[in-house]
């Protein structure tokens, strides 16, 4: 089974890119982030014509996540609330950042982690709280199910220095501050492992490049799109790669797909 994650930075803007990529890379499940469209306006037909099923949780102009699957998915839910309750999850679920479903006894969890804006801002504090809640959410899933987990998406965190083209000053740079890294490490402590690092240990491999300053051409990138697996699924993984080809297209997303196979 192949699962891919891709922050498309507006599905309507990048629709042709995504459809063409799927036609050439018929993964079993494609996890999208930053779809930036309400559910009613999501462009479903082109995916359905390729034989895919759609499960979407969107909002106008911001955020938004979707699961695009070659087979019907089971136990589909959106947001934190279904597993941790309204009291803890409701205010965070206003932003559409979480969607999960089960396929072949594997639970896919597709995330769009908040960016955080800048160190010390309200959005930064919200990001840290969101990650704390994410750990509670994943723990609740583990407590209530016996499923293997594939947790993927745009995490907006470069966990190691080698995930950044130039890590100088990282401690004051959003996406790489010590508090963000520690918050993600706390999430991973429930037993999640980085699928990409199972196969590629060296640096200079990135999934996001700033549109400015010829970031992609100069390979001034960051690896902030991740796929994390529970131990049994991690052992079953046979490849995990970053496909940079879509980033070469005209008017691309600033992110590119990451694909795991197990």
Task: Please report, for the domain that includes residue 197, its CATH number.
Answer: 3.60.10.10
Report how far residue 47's alpha carbon sits from residue 50's, in angstroms, rounded to the nearest whole number: 5
Through-space distance between the first and last CA atoms of the chain, rounded to whole angstroms: 5
- What pLDDT, on the 0 to 100 scale, is given for residue 97? 98
Q: What are 6-29's pLDDT values in tens digits?
A: 999 999 999 999 999 999 999 999
Residue 141 clears pLDDT 90, i.e. is over it: yes
* DSSP label at residue 117: -
Task: Give me the chain's average pLDDT, please.
Answer: 97
pLDDT of residue 246: 98
Looking at residue 84, what is its pLDDT?
A: 96
Q: Which of 28, 55, 137, 154 is catalytic?
A: 154
pLDDT of residue 57: 98
Q: b/e per residue, 184-202, with b = 16+ CB within 10 A?
A: beebbebebbbbbbbebee
pLDDT of residue 242: 98
From the list 55, 59, 61, the residue with the least C-alpha distance to 32 is 55
The mean per-residue pLDDT over the stretch 103-115 comes to 98
**What is the pLDDT at residue 167?**
94
The whole-angstrom separation of Cα 85 and Cα 161 is 36
pTM value > 0.95: yes
Could you tell me the two tokens for 184? 């993600």
- Model pLDDT for residues 223-237, shown as the tens digit of each residue: 999 999 999 999 999
Q: Is the predicted pLDDT of residue 185 greater than 90, yes or no?
A: yes
User: Region 199-228: what's the mean pLDDT?
Assistant: 96
Neighbours of 153 (CB within 10 A): 27
Query: Which structural domain, as residue segments, surrounds residue 55?
Result: 2-261
CA–CA gap between residue 136 and residue 152 (Å, rounded): 16
pLDDT band at 162 (very low <50, low <70, confident <90, very high): very high
The per-residue pLDDT for range 117-133, each reduced to its tens digit, is 999 999 999 999 999 99
Domains: count for the chain: 1
- Specify whether 228 is catalytic: no
- Hey, is 3 helix, strand or coil? strand
Alpha helices in the chain (DSSP H): 15-24, 45-49, 81-84, 86-89, 122-144, 178-188, 195-199, 231-236
**Cα gap 105→236, rounded to integer Å:** 14
Confidence at residue 9, expressed as pLDDT on a 0 to 100 scale = 98
Q: Mean per-residue pLDDT for 154-169?
A: 97
Residue listed under structure tokens 């639970």:
107
Sign of CA dihedral 174, 177, 183, 187: positive
Other residues' Cβ atoms within 10 Å of the Cβ of residue 38: 14
Give Cβ neighbours of residue 72 (< 8 Å, ≥ 6 apart): 53
Q: In the predicted model, is pLDDT for residue 105 greater than 90?
A: yes
Residue 5 clears pLDDT 90, i.e. is over it: yes
The answer to whether residue 112 is catalytic is yes
Q: Which of 52, 112, 124, 228 is catalytic?
A: 112
Q: What is the pLDDT of residue 213?
A: 83
Q: At what angle do helices 178-188 and 122-144 cross, to 10 degrees?
A: 10
Task: Round to whole Å and give the CA distance between 116 and 124.
Answer: 4
pLDDT for 61 equals 95
Can you tell me the mean pLDDT for 196-218? 96
Average the pLDDT over 155-162 and give the result. Answer: 98
Give dist(CA 40, CA 91) in Å, integer: 23
């Amino acid at each position: 089974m192949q699962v891919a994650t891709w922050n498309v930075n507006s599905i309507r803007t990048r629709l042709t890119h995504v459809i063409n990529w799927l036609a050439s890379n018929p993964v079993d499940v494609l996890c999208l982030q930053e779809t930036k469209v309400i559910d009613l306006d999501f462009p479903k037909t082109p995916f359905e014509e390729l034989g895919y099923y759609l499960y979407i949780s969107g909002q106008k102009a911001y955020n938004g996540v979707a699961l695009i699957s070659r087979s019907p998915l089971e136990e589909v839910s959106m947001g934190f609330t279904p597993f941790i309750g309204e009291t803890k999850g409701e205010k965070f679920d206003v932003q559409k950042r979480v969607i999960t479903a089960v396929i072949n006894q594997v639970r896919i969890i597709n995330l769009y982690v908040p960016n955080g804006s800048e160190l010390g801002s309200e959005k930064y504090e919200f990001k840290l709280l969101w990650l704390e809640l994410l750990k509670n959410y994943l723990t609740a899933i583990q407590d209530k199910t016996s499923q293997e987990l594939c947790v993927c998406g745009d995490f907006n965190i470069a966990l190691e220095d080698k995930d950044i083209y130039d890590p100088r000053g990282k401690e004051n740079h959003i996406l790489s501050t010590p508090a963000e890294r520690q918050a993600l490490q706390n999430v991973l402590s429930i037993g999640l492992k980085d699928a990409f690092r199972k196969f590629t240990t060296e640096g200079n491999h990135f999934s996001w490049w700033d549109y400015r300053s010829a970031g992609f051409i100069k390979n001034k990138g960051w690896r902030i799109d991740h796929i994390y697996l529970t131990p049994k699924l991690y052992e079953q993984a046979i490849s995990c790669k970053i496909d940079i080809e879509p980033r070469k297209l005209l008017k691309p997303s600033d992110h590119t797909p990451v694909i795991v196979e197990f």
